Chains A and B, each alone.
With several copies, the nearest count.
Chain A
Amino acid sequence: MTRPGLPDEQIAQRIAAELEDGWYVNLGVGIPTLVGNCLPPGRDILLHTENGMLGIGPRPPQGEEDIDLINAGNQPVTVLPGSCFFGQADSFAMIRGGHVDVSVLGALQVSERGDLANWMIPGQRVGRVGGAMDIAVGAKRLFVAMGHTTRDGAPKIVKRCTYPLTAVGAVKKIFTNLAVIEVGPAGLVLLEVAPGVTPEQVAAATEPPLTIAPDLRTIPF
């Protein structure tokens, strides 16, 4: 069955539209990485990668990769005018110190109060947390980018996460193939639906109740 709503590239595009001129942005692997490919023109948006670079440029042409120029997903990047480098302790000082305007991470589950689970599957014995926990608690705003449900159709937006947590109460907005949902103080608020998707469809694919925003709109492209 084809996934309804937006393909990953359009989820990324919707997130990119959210990014303001002058923002420092950290992108996790998966859909978040795609955000880097569709940054809105005319805005200086600086990408931070926790392995030690600010202002990362696009992937170089094949054959011009440099093993000393990579992002946290181990993908080759390039230097832009205004880029700079630093060590990992300084990099996480930026993150944990609240200097990164927004981080976009993938998720296995997000709870209605903004808890994030994205690093481990229950019963998995080899933990590999990477920088996710620091990024989740440290960024000024945490966005999640993910498919709205699992491949089996089970909700990934849940009342309580059953997967091991990455951070408590950290997620601010969730961007999926079906919708844009805000984690508000009184619970989840449905802000936008994908073209052709109804609020009812979103609600059916979401475990906790959704408040529909008075100015609910269709994600514009």
Chain B
Amino acid sequence: MNKGYPSSAAAVADIPDGASIMVGGFGLAGLPVNLLRALAEQGARGLTIISNAAGRGDLGVGRLFKGRQVRRFIGCFPVPGHSQHFEEQFLRGEVEYECMPQGTFSERIRAGGAGIAAFYTPTGVGTILAEGKEQREFNGRSYVLEHGLTADYAFIKGYRGDRWGNLAYRGTSRNFNVMMATAARVTIAEVEEVVELGALDPEAVVTPGIFVQRVVRGEVYDKTWVA
């Protein structure tokens, strides 16, 4: 078993038009920049993008909006003044947008990966984001029914990975990557370093390889801090 791919381009080559893709990362931490760049070049269109944010200028999933590759965005936080490609297309009615609370977003993805069809969360009760959703009381408190979320692909970024797909992260770069890895039919992980089997501390593997179908060493990381 070797899940290694020679390049980001090779790892995303088969993604068809209309695919749904989860994209990890919060800020630049854990953002799979190389896979996103490769997908922009590959050119698949009509995509559903499931991502916390909607990109920052051309960065992150912003690049996919810029290239008009996205039909639908499921997320929580298009950054004001920065997610302009998304915003313009959404306001022109060219892109659909499903907005949800970040904890619900995280939990829906975890549920999708864990075979849980739906769950009751207290988040959002009494707000417009719960409108039209089933509500129910448990022990005198109101909860909203939310459904598990899965996707065709997940783009995630680890720090180190091995050929079985085991991943270790660094700092706050785990964020959405951890759940998204579990919830896609094909999870593609880019890592800064591919290491030998056994080189990762088994106590510090955060994403077990069972959740990862493809591993690629990301070509370029610019780790310069941008305020």
Contact = CB atoms under 8 A, between A and B. Distances in A.
Judge A-B direct contact (beta carbons within 8 Å). yes
27 contacts: A22-B1, A51-B29, A51-B172, A52-B26, A52-B172, A66-B171, A66-B223, A66-B225, A68-B30, A68-B159, A69-B29, A72-B26, A80-B198, A81-B196, A82-B166, A85-B203, A87-B106, A87-B174, A88-B26, A92-B106, A97-B183, A99-B210, A128-B77, A129-B76, A129-B99, A133-B129, A167-B127
A131 B121 CA distance: 14
Contacts of A24: 210
A2 B78 CA distance: 33
Given A43-B1, A85-B202, A89-B109, 17 more contacts: A51-B27, A52-B174, A52-B175, A53-B171, A67-B27, A67-B28, A74-B27, A82-B162, A82-B164, A87-B176, A89-B107, A94-B210, A96-B122, A97-B113, A126-B90, A129-B100, A137-B123
A148 interface: no
A138 B172 contact: no
A86 B30 CA distance: 12
Interface of A: 21-22, 24, 43-44, 46, 48-55, 65-72, 74, 76-77, 79-100, 115, 125-135, 137-138, 164-168
Nearest to A44: B1
B179 A129 contact: no
Nearest to A80: B198
Interface residues of B, number: 71
